Amino acid sequence: MSKVVTLQEFIMEKQADFPFASGELSRLLYDIVFASKVVSRDVRKAGLVDHILGAQGNTNVQGEEQQKLDVVADEQFIHVFKNGAEVCGIASEENDDCVIFDDEKGRNGKYVVLFDPLDGSSNIDVNVSIGTIFSIYRRKSEVGTVAVEEDFLQPGHEQVAAGYVLYGSSTMLVYTTGRGVNGFTLDPSIGEFCLSHPNMKMPEIGRIYAMNEGNIHICNPGIKKYVEYCQSDENQTGKPYSGRYIGSLVADFHRNLIKGGIYIYPATTNDPNGKLRLMYECNPLAFIAEQAGGLASTGFERILSVQPEKLHQRVPYFVGSKLMVEKALSLLEKE
């Protein structure tokens, strides 16, 4: 019987890859692991506990109706980051501005974290998979001072770590520190994440495309051409692809990471700058995709090269298997 490797053991083993971090990055990852276990527990209780299911009654900065679990997850992650000693500030999809930790621990923190506490939260009430997405950067400002906006507005290629937690039939954490992608599944019997998907690689091509085709009439004509290509038997596999759109980005991305596929959320005439958030969703998943052999683009530019101008910046998004993304971009360019 092979030895079970826990996430904590795995992080400790890889700590030598980051001599500059002196253990801080490892401790920060432990904080994320702890918070994700708490959120996973709360997700499992949804429907049984009144105060965590349904709408909160407020809208967030994105103009979206907040779910109660959105707020619960957001507060839990902020709590662990503030109480740790590694983070000088956070930015969350649920908050208008970045949250600066200006106490002594915060001023001495070396990292900032940007995260979507509960991606796909509109699916909570119908029991569809949801998730947490996180992105970690080294601060640009001097350690010992209060964090500034420049610490958060860094391009995706500056990320030191990124990952997501999927709350589905099982709870799974997938992350990268720029040295490949590894996945861990929560074993509820021992309360530990265990290595279940080592060295994850995204197939160069798959047979799944994920897009809200209800918007196809307000997209660039190249998008329609690509969907027609997917549905024909003249594509790269010789058989029509399957359309699979869950509506939870983490769930759609995770399926394509394992099976191969492409996820498309393009610009439309209604949303010419795209709809997904660069800092909280696109950058971290693009980092994972590239580390697993995939691609991520706005349609015209590599996602990880985009210089952010504001915290809640939106961009069009094409992410997935390398050959599928390249084909979509070639048709988009022709139009």
How many helical (H) and strand (E) elements, i.e. helices and strands, does the chain have?
8, 17
d(CA 39, CA 58) in angstroms, rounded, equals 20
245 labeled binding residue: yes
234 is in an annotated binding site: no
Contact, 252 vs 244, CB < 8 A? yes
102 labeled part of a ligand binding site: no
Asked if residue 64 belongs to a known ligand binding site, the reply is no
110 is in an annotated binding site: no
Which tokens is 186 given? Answer: 């929560």
Distance, CA of 118 to CA of 210 (rounded, Å): 20
Confirm or deny that 13 is annotated as ligand binding. Answer: no
The answer to whether residues 299 and 266 touch, using CB atoms and an 8 Å cutoff, is yes
Cα 48 to Cα 42, 53, 71: the distances in Å are 10, 8, 17
Q: Is 50 annotated as a binding residue?
A: no
116 is known to lie in a ligand binding site: yes
Which residues lie across from 164 on neighbouring strands? 133, 174
Distance set, CA 245 to CA 233, 248, 249, 263 (Å): 20, 8, 9, 8
* 121 labelled binding-site residue: yes
**Nearest-angstrom CA–CA distance, 292 and 204:** 10
Q: Does 93 count as an annotated binding residue? A: yes
**Binding site annotation covers 187?**
no
Binding residues for Mg(2+): 93, 116, 118-119, 281
Mark the binding-site residues, compressed into ranges.
93, 116, 118-122, 212, 245, 275, 281
Return binding residues for substrate: 119-122, 212, 245, 275
